[in-house]
Structure 1
Amino acid sequence: MRALFLIPLLALPLFAQATVLTPTAAISTIGSQRMLTQRIVKAYCQQGRGINANAAKQQINSSITQFSNQLANLLESATVPESIAAVKKQETQWQTFRVLAQTSPKVETAKQLDDLAESMQYDAGELAKRLEASFGKPQGKLIRIAGRERMLSQRLAKAACLQSWRANPALKLQQAQSQKEFAAGLVTLRASSENTPATLKQLDLAQMQWVFLENALSGLDSEADNNIATTSERLLEVMDKLSNQYEKLGN
C-alpha cells in the first residue's frame, strides 16, 4: 500500500518553520488538529458565557498558533494526491475558522464555528484512518484512537457549554454519543498488547480524570460549568502524554 506521507532520506522543508513529519507524527498531528477545532469552539463558548474568560481567550490564541504551525507541517509532509487534497481543504476551512474564532463571542458565530469544527474534525479523522492503514503497524491504530480521545475530551466540554448557551437537542445527543465513544476508546487502548508500564500508568490517570469529567457533565458538581472547563483540560493533558508515548512506540 502506498504511504500517504513519505519521508525522503534527505528531505528538507521548503519553509524554515515547517517540518517533514514521520508517519507516526503525521497521525498524531492530525489527531491534535481534530482536538484543536473542538477546543477552540469550547473556549469561544466559555468566553461568551463568562466561564474563565481570560483563560479561554488565551486557549484560543495558543490553539490558533498550534493549529497553524501543525498545518504547515502537514502541508510540507503530504506527498500523494489524496492526502494533499485533504490537507488543502483543511487549510481553506481554517482561514474562515480562525477569523471567526477571534471575533467577539456571539451565539450565532458559535454556531458557525461549531459547524466548521465538526466538518474539519470529521475530515481529519478520515485522513487519520487512511494514514493508519498506510502505516500498517499496530501502533498506528493506538496513535489514532488516542488522538480521537483528545478530540472527544474537548467535544464533550464544547457540547455541554453550547447547550448552556443555546438550547439544542442535537448537542445533547452529540454529548451522549461522545461519552460512549470516549469510554469505549479507553477500553480499546487498555486492551492493546502494545502497552507498556508507562502507557498503562497514563491510562490509569486518564480513567481517573474521565470519572471527574463524567461527574461534572452529569451535573453532580455544584459548579458544573467551571468543573467541566477545567477537568476537560486536565484530561486533555493526560491524553496528550499518552499520544506522545504511543507515537514513540511506533518510531
Structure 2
Amino acid sequence: MRALFLLPLLILPLFAEAAVLTAPAAINTISSQRMLTQRIVKAYCQQGRGVNPDVAKQQISSSINQFSVQLANLLESISTSEGIAAVKKQEAQWQTFRTLAQTPPKADTAKQLDDIAEGMQYDAGELVKRLEASLGKPQGKLIRIAGRQRMLSQRLAKTACMQSWHANPALKLQQSQSQKEFAAGLITLRASSQNTPATIKQLDLAQMQWVFLENALSGLDTEADNNIATTSERLLEVMDKLSNQYERLGN
C-alpha cells in the first residue's frame, strides 16, 4: 500500500486567530483532540520502530499544530465553568505531552506519552458527552460516535505499534476491545435515520477501509506494520469527513 502523507484537513496555520465554535463544532473539535492524542503516540512509536519514520515525524508536527489551534478555539468557545475547567486541565497536560512527543523516540517515553494520552482522551470524551446532552439534537450523538471512530482508528494502530516495539505489551486487551467498539460504532452510525446519501457513502468507504485495517492488525499480510500505518490514516480521513458531515447536519 502506498503511504498516505498528510490529510489536507490536518494542515492548519500555526498562529491562526482563535475562532468561536458552534455547539456541534465544539463537539467535533473536542472529539478531534481525542484522536490527536492517539495519532501523536502512534506516530512517535512508528518513528521508533522505523515504520515510515519521515512520514511519522511529519504527522507529529502537523498534529501538534492542529491540537494547538483547536485548543485555542476551545478556550475561546467553552463557556460553562465545568467545561472551562476541563479544557484548562487539557491545556496543562498538553504542555508536557507536546514536549515529550518531540523528543527522540524511546520505548520508555512512548509508554509515558501513552499514559498521558489516555488520560487526555478520556477527559475529552467525558466533556463531549456533556456537550452532546446540552445540544439536545440527534446529530450530537452522531458527531460524538463518528469522532470516537476517528480516535479508535488511531488507537488501534498505536496499540499494535507499541506491542511490536515492546513499549507496552499489556495493550493487547485494549486493542481487542477497541476493535469490537469500532465495529459496533459502524453499525450504530449506519442505523441512524439522520443519514444522508453523502454520509452513507462515507460509511461504505469506512467499512471497506475497516476490513483492510482488521486484516493488517491480524498479521495476515506480510507488511503488517506498514499497512497498519497507512490504512489507519486512510480510515482516519474517511471518518474525519463523516464527522464533519454530521457536524454540518447539527448546525
Q: TM-score band (shorter)?
A: over 0.9
> How many positions carry a matched residue from both structures?
237
- What is the distance in 1 between the residues matched to 2:169 and 2:55? 28
Amino acid at match of 2:248: K
Q: Check if 1:93 corresponds to 2:111.
A: no
CA 86–60 in structure 1, closer or farther in 2 if over 3 Å, else same: same
Identity of aligned residues (%): 84
For 1:205, give the aligned amino acid: L
CA distance in 1, matches of 2:168, 2:114: 13
For structure 2, the residue ranges without an aligned partner over 5 or more in a row are 1-14
The CA distance in 2 between the partners of 1:140 and 1:146, in whole Å, is 10
Query: Residue 106 of structure 2 corresponds to which residue in structure 1?
Result: 106
Kindly report structure 1 stretches of 4+ aligned residues shifted beyond 3 Å.
Answer: none
Q: What CA distance in whole angstroms lies between the structure 1 residues aligned with 2:90 and 2:221? A: 37
Shift of 1:168: 4.0
SS at match of 1:110: helix
In the alignment, the residues of structure 2 paired with residue 79 and residue 25 of structure 1 have an alpha-carbon distance, to the nearest angstrom, of 14
Matches within 5 A, 1:46-57: 46-57=46-57
Match of 2:211 in 1: 211
Say if 1:176 and 1:16 are closer, same or farther in 2 by CA, change over 3 A.
closer
In structure 2, what is the equivalent of residue 132 of structure 1?
Answer: 132
CA deviation string 1:72-102 (max 9, x = no partner): 0000011111000000000000000000000
Q: Distance in 2 between matches of 1:169 and 1:93?
A: 24
Counterpart for residue 19 of structure 1: 19
Q: Does 1:225 align with 2:236?
A: no
Q: Distance in 2 between matches of 1:168 and 1:177?
A: 16
Rounded to whole Å, the distance in 2 between the matches of 1:48 and 1:187 is 35
- Do residues 182 (structure 1) and 187 (structure 2) align? no
Q: Which letter maps to 1:61?
A: S
Partners in 2 of 1:129 and 1:49 — Cα distance?
35
CA distance 1:68–1:168, change in 2 (3 Å) = closer
What is the SS of the residue equivalent to 1:93? Answer: helix
Query: Aligned partners of 1:44, 1:197: CA distance in 2, in Å?
Result: 37
Alpha-carbon separation, structure 2, partners of 1:19 and 1:26: 11
Cα shift at 1:173? 0.3
Cα RMSD for the two superposed structures: 1.0
The residue type paired with residue 112 of structure 1 is Q
| TM-aligned CA deviation for residue 45 of structure 1 | 0.2
Q: 2:164 matched to which residue of 1?
A: 164
Q: How far is the alpha carbon of 1:17 from its aligned partner?
A: 1.0
Q: Distance in 1 between matches of 2:249 and 2:80?
A: 25
Q: 1:58 & 1:169 partners in 2: Cα distance?
A: 26
TM-score, normalisation: structure 2:
0.93
What letter corresponds to residue 189 of structure 2 in structure 1? L
